[in-house]
Copies of this chain bind each other. A is one copy, B any other.
Amino acid sequence: MVRDELRQLLEDVKNNKVDVGDALNRLKTLPYEDLGFALVDHHRALRKGFPEVIFCQGKTAGQVAQIFKKLCCGRRSILGTRATREVFEAVREIYPDAVYHELARTIVVYRGEPPAKKGKILVMSAGTADMPVAEEAAVTAEVMGNEVKKAYDVGVAGIHRLLDKLDLIRWADVIIVVAGMEGALASVVGGLADQPVIAVPTSVGYGASFNGLSALLCMLNSCASGVGVVNIDNGFGAAALANAITQMIARANT
A interface with B by C-beta (< 8 Å): 3, 6-7, 10-11, 13-14, 16, 20, 23-24, 27-28, 30-33, 35-38, 40-41, 44, 48, 57-58, 126-127, 129, 155-161, 163-164, 166, 169-170, 173-174, 181-184, 187-188, 190-192, 194-198, 201, 203, 205-234, 236-237, 240-241, 243-245, 247-250, 252-253
A181 in contact with B27 (CB, 8 Å)? no
Q: A38-B160, A207-B233 are in contact. Are A7 and B31 (CB under 8 A)?
A: no
CB-contact partner of A182 in B11, B36, B184, B226, under 8 A: B184
CB-contact partner of A31 in B10, B163, B188, under 8 A: B163
Q: How far is the CA of A24 from the CA of B27 in the complex (A)?
A: 12
B229 in contact with A163 (CB, 8 Å)? no
A241 in contact with B227 (CB, 8 Å)? yes
Q: A14-B16, A160-B37 are in contact. Are A220 and B224 (CB under 8 A)?
A: no
CB-based closest 7 A-B pairs: A228-B228, A32-B160, A207-B232, A184-B184, A157-B191, A225-B240, A157-B224
Give chain B residues whose Cβ lies under 8 Å from the Cβ of A192.
37, 159
A218 in contact with B218 (CB, 8 Å)? yes
B20 in contact with A10 (CB, 8 Å)? yes
CB-contact partner of A156 in B58, B187, B197, B198, under 8 A: B187
19 more A-B residue pairs beyond the given contacts A37-B192, A205-B221, with a C-beta to C-beta distance below 8 A: A11-B20, A13-B13, A31-B163, A41-B158, A41-B160, A156-B156, A157-B187, A182-B218, A188-B188, A195-B248, A196-B245, A208-B220, A209-B231, A214-B217, A214-B221, A225-B237, A228-B228, A228-B241, A229-B229
Q: How far is the CA of A58 from the CA of B163 in the complex (A)?
A: 29
CB-contact partner of A57 in B27, B36, B206, under 8 A: B206
Least Cβ–Cβ distance between A76 and chain B, in angstroms:
15
